Structure formats: C-alpha cells, structure tokens
Amino acid sequence: MKIDVLFENCDAVLITSPQNLQYFSGFAGGEGFCLLSHSSKTIFVDSRYTVEAVSECKGFEVVEFSGGNLFELITAQLNKISAKVIAYEDLCLTVATFNQMKDKLDGISFVPLGDKADIIRSIKTDEEIALLRKAERIGDMAFKQVLPMIKLGMTENDLAAELEYQMRKSGASGTSFDTIAVSGKKTAMPHGRPDEKKLEYGDFVTMDFGCIYKGYCSDMTRTVVMGEASSKQIEVYNTVLAAQLEGLKTIKAGVVAKDADYAARRIIEDAGYGSYFGHSLGHGVGLMIHEQPNLSPRSETVLVPNMIVTCEPGIYIQDFGGVRIEDMVAVKENGCENLTSSTKELIICG
C-alpha cells in the first residue's frame, strides 16, 4: 500500500508513535512529532535528539522545540503548508496529548488515522526483511549457546538472564518483549513469568524470547524436557510439532489468515487437544513485536508477499504443563521463508 493512502481524508499526518516515527522518518530516538504532507516532511524534537534527527531523517526539515513552544512550531508549519485537516494516531495517542493538541492547534480539524500506517508497515521491504532475518539469527545463536547451560537446579530467572545476555553479546540492543522461561506446571501458562523456581527432573521448559536489532524485533519459542520425557509429554510435543509444520506448509501469499490458523488447529483438535489451544496461530512482527496481520480464527486478512508472521501453535494443560513451538517466517508467493533455524526435535536437557 502506497504512503498516499495516509492523506485520503486530510492535508497532513501527525506521527507520534516511536515505531511509526522510525518507519516514516528514519528517526529512532522514540520521542518526537513528525508532520507529513504531500509537499513537506518535518520532524520536531527537543535538544536531546536534534543531532540524531539531523543524521537519521534524510530529506526532513528538523525543528528543535523547547519549553512549551512545540505546538506553536507545529502551527507555524501547518500555516506554511495551508493544512486545515490533520490525521492523528488515534490508536496510540494519549487522551491528554490529543486534548492538548486540540486546544493549541486553533482552526485545525482532526481525523483519526486508524490502522492505515500499520497496514503499510505490515508489508516489509527487502531491507527490513534483512534486519528481521538478522534479529532472528541472533535469537538462534542465543538458543544454541544456552542449550548446554540448561541443567537441573538452574532457576528460571537464570535461564532468562542467560538468553538475554547471549542476545546482547550477539548484537541485540535489547529484548523485544519480556523473556519467558518457565518450567514444569508453569508451562501451561502461555505468558508465564520466570522466577526463582528451579528446573526439575521431568519438567517441560518453555523459552519464548526475542531481541531488537536496529529497531526490528525477533520472536521464537522452543520447549525442552529435563532429564526424561514421559509418553504423554512426547505425545503432546509431537502433536504441537505436527501442527506447526502444517501451519508452515499452509502460509503463503493468497492464503486467508484464518485458513492458516485452521490448518494447524485441526491437527491439535483431531488429536483431542483442541480445548487446550486457546490463542491464535501467529501474528505479524516488525518494528513492534505484535503487529498486523493476525493469524487468528477470525482474521479475513489475505497474506501477501513480504509480510512477516509467526507460526506458534501450542497445547497448555493445567497441572501438567504445555508446549509451544514458534518460528518467524516471511510470506512468499509459493510458500514461506523460515527465518528461524533452531532444531525442533524434542531436546532432553539436564
């Protein structure tokens, strides 16, 4: 989708979210206002970010604000380009900031931008895919380094810390979300939080982690077993793996998102575990860890080339444990490119 769609009902667009600031201007500082129109591109930052904005925002006029003169400067620019209607990021702008804008920007009408920017961002450029591929490779390298460290008696907190440390060592600027490293019955919680619990013999251990590389996120999940796997653990693991492989086989351009979800979900349902898979098959990844499209049972989105999505079915059984296996892939015309290379065989640790 071309950027012109942003201006369908307005004269200019005011960008405020960190991810859209980076996407549309190149500015990675996270705090600022970007005003886009057909005839001009302006970014407003305070003195902490002026040098960075000048360096990163090629083709933009950089305006430094201080004190309370931000909206005076924006008003001056709006008058300069004769803009009377501006679109704002209604999905993320705070009510307080919006009310302040309405008070300060006299004579301006406001229209919500909705998800137009998110839809544009959902289709990645080749350059973006290269950064996402690198981010996911960092996660793969971290998993490889941490596997030999996973021992009986290790705490979940220590495991999470090691994953994060290894990603940092490999070039990540941070984590793309709070690292999940849970064990035993806690693996039945898809978003369980690590604590001082120690890894015990017979535990499932689920690790869901990702990093940020040059602003772009990675996401992967692997589940291992400590010491020895029971027959039921093997059955559950193999069911999730079969579902994940079926989902990967289905993801390609032209497929409706809900159909990709169903391809994986029916494997789990046919095995009798349908009620234990409560979340969607996957989600888009980019400058944000969760963005469009959503591979849910209700999503009518048609996948197109260069969307980046996760494929992460799971089974979660209270008082037993759970399994999730997750890869991040790029949608292609005749299939998908898997950006995740870590093995999916059931690994015994400890």
Taking only the tens place, the pLDDT of each residue in 286-312 is 999 999 999 999 999 999 999 999 999
State the Cα angle at 45 between 44 and 49, rounded to 5°: 145
- Helix, strand counts (H, E) of the chain: 9, 20
CA 49 to chain centre: 25
Rounded to an integer, what distance in angstroms lies between the CA atom of residue 70 and that of residue 62?
13
The reported pLDDT for the residue numbered 1 is 47
CB burial class (10 A; 0-12, 13-18, 19+) of residue 272? exposed
Q: In what order do the strands lie in the sheet with 216-217?
A: 174-175, 211-213, 216-217
Question: pLDDT digits over 184-237, tens only?
Answer: 999 999 999 999 999 999 999 999 999 999 999 999 999 999 999 999 999 999
pLDDT at 88 over 50: yes
- In which band, very low, low, confident or very high, does the pLDDT at 4 lie, cut at 50, 70 and 90? confident
Say if pTM beats, i.e. exceeds, 0.85: yes
**What DSSP element (H or E) covers 97?**
helix 95-104
pLDDT at 2 over 90: no
* Alpha-carbon separation of residue 66 from 44, 61, 322, 348 (angstroms): 10, 16, 52, 58
Share of the chain above pLDDT 70, in %: 100
The reported pLDDT for the residue numbered 303 is 98
Rounded to an integer, what distance in angstroms lies between the CA atom of residue 54 and that of residue 87?
25
Q: Which domains does the chain have, with CATH numbers?
A: 3-121 (3.40.350.10), 123-349 (3.90.230.10)
The reported pLDDT for the residue numbered 85 is 96
